[in-house]
Amino acid sequence: MRRCLLMAITRKTVVYLGVAYLFIGLALAFREPSISIFVIPIATAFLYSSLFSSHAHPQLRIKRTLNPPRSFGGESINVALEIQNTSGDHADQLYLEDEIPESLSLDKGTASLLLSLHPGERIEHRYSISAPRRGRYLLGPMMVHLVDDLGFREYSETIPGRDQVLILPKVENLKSMELRARRVGPWPGSVPSRTVGHGTEFFELRPYLPGDDLRRINWKASAKQSRLVANEFETERVTDVLLVVDCSEGALSKLFAYDVEEFEVSLAASLCSQLLLQGNRVGLLVYGQERTWLAPAFGKRQLLRILSALAIVKGGPAMVPIGYAVESIAAAVLPVRSVVVFVSPFIGDDVVDAVLSTANVGYNVICFAPTESTIENEPESKSLARRILATERRMNLRQVISVSRFLPITPETSIPILLRRIQPWRPT
């Protein structure tokens, strides 16, 4: 972005000129040359403004620092502005205004200030902002306005430089989430692997062998069988998970009394956080106005990548069918028999087809579906439309339930309690 300097004559100048010409007019009309003397103060003021106001090109260096640059919303972000006059001239009556998006609220301090800077002088100004909603916000550019002493001329300059504030979706601590996957990775994790080894879950009994740890002896079973019997445990490994968040047009349906998009994003963020915390490889596919996907990966960096992607999710009509998107991405990045988690309201045939085809390929599918809510005092015409949509959705859900682990959910539902319902499930 280039610097843009604009100079303009103010309305005051025009009024003063008008007054000056009024006096000249009166002098000419009434043949009174003395009246024209009244023009001299105005002309002198103009000359003073032209000759002694020398801040036409204020050279300012502005550095904006955000702390922290990412936030989970609700907390204050401190903005530190470092302003330096790099020119050799004294910059007087500088009015600076840092452009803040309307959706951000100013918590402390002010984003506009009036300054006077000596050559080379540097000042630091601080203010705090907060955002009520997730998203990507841009701060800046800095607008600089200068008015000369008498307010005859004003300069506006845009100093380029925008900084990004990322408000991440809030993450709920889910405490535990036990997945059952038919395919597990080689690394230890929390997903039961149906193989004997080191783990915490009991798997089977076998005769005690010399060299076995004495703590593994099952004394009750040994007493019954009159020989030493040892416990075998099930190894827990990690798995690969692809989380599909459906924010397409259907997700924005009026079928729900709450903001489904926000709810889905928040749920997806919490699920990803928990799955990554358990050591799984997690990928993301966001299906909405803008399609975003992240290949499965481990760790905190992946969580940050996922949260950053979820922060900018925008619901709306998508260009490609969701089935095609899921199939092509899953085939490229996710081994068969891994877990695919759908977070969708399941409105429309596309998403149902996507679930069916994903399950048919051999993935373990888990579906989280926001539950529709009743709206009171609704007009008859709208109510009918809602009922038709709800019936259509119920038909979709029947198909989804037949091939996946289905979990209906509302903003009031406790996710940790809901997740316990996954535990008894073992894929066939």
Partner 1 sequence: METNVSPQIFRWRILRAFSLMWLALTLIAVTLLLPTALVLFALIVVIFSGFTGGIAVLTYNSKLSIVSIVTAFGLFLDLLGVEIASKTVESNLPLTLLGFVMLLFAVESLTATTKRPFFEIPERGRQVPISLIDMFIEQSFTRTSRVAILCATCYLISMSTVYLSAYAALFQPALADVSLYVIVVSISLALLILLRED
- Residues lying near partner 1 in the complex (CB under 8 A) are found at 7, 9, 12-13, 17, 19-21, 24, 26-28, 30, 32-51, 56-57, 92-93, 106, 108-110, 112-116, 125-126, 149-153
Nearer to partner 1, 5 or 389 (CB): 5
Please enumerate in sequence order all residues whose Cβ is within 8 A of that of 167, keeping only pairs 6 or more positions apart, or say none: 70, 71, 72, 73, 131, 133, 134, 135, 136, 137, 311
Please state the closest distance from residue 45 (CB atom) to partner 1, in A.
Answer: 7
Please state the closest distance from residue 100 (CB atom) to partner 1, in A.
Answer: 12
Please state the closest distance from residue 106 (CB atom) to partner 1, in A.
Answer: 7
Residue 191 near residue 238, CB atoms below 8 Å: yes
Please state the closest distance from residue 109 (CB atom) to partner 1, in A.
Answer: 5
Nearer to partner 1, 150 or 295 (CB): 150
Residue 419 near residue 177, CB atoms below 8 Å: yes
Please give the Cα distance from 251 to 313 (Å, whole number).
Answer: 12
Please state the closest distance from residue 364 (CB atom) to partner 1, in A.
Answer: 54
Beta bridge partners of residue 5, listed in sequence order: 157
* 397 token code pair: 């859900």
Please state the closest distance from residue 8 (CB atom) to partner 1, in A.
Answer: 11
Please state the closest distance from residue 333 (CB atom) to partner 1, in A.
Answer: 49
Please state the closest distance from residue 60 (CB atom) to partner 1, in A.
Answer: 16
Nearer to partner 1, 12 or 216 (CB): 12
Nearer to partner 1, 110 or 328 (CB): 110
Nearer to partner 1, 37 or 336 (CB): 37
- Cβ contacts of 197-201, under 8 Å, gap ≥ 24: 197/233, 197/234, 197/235, 198/233, 198/235, 199/233, 199/234, 199/235, 199/236, 200/233, 200/236, 201/233, 201/234, 201/236
Nearer to partner 1, 7 or 395 (CB): 7
Please state the closest distance from residue 34 (CB atom) to partner 1, in A.
Answer: 4
Across the beta sheet with 77-85, the strand order is 60-67, 77-85, 122-130, 105-108
Nearer to partner 1, 5 or 403 (CB): 5
Nearer to partner 1, 25 or 197 (CB): 25
Nearer to partner 1, 24 or 171 (CB): 24
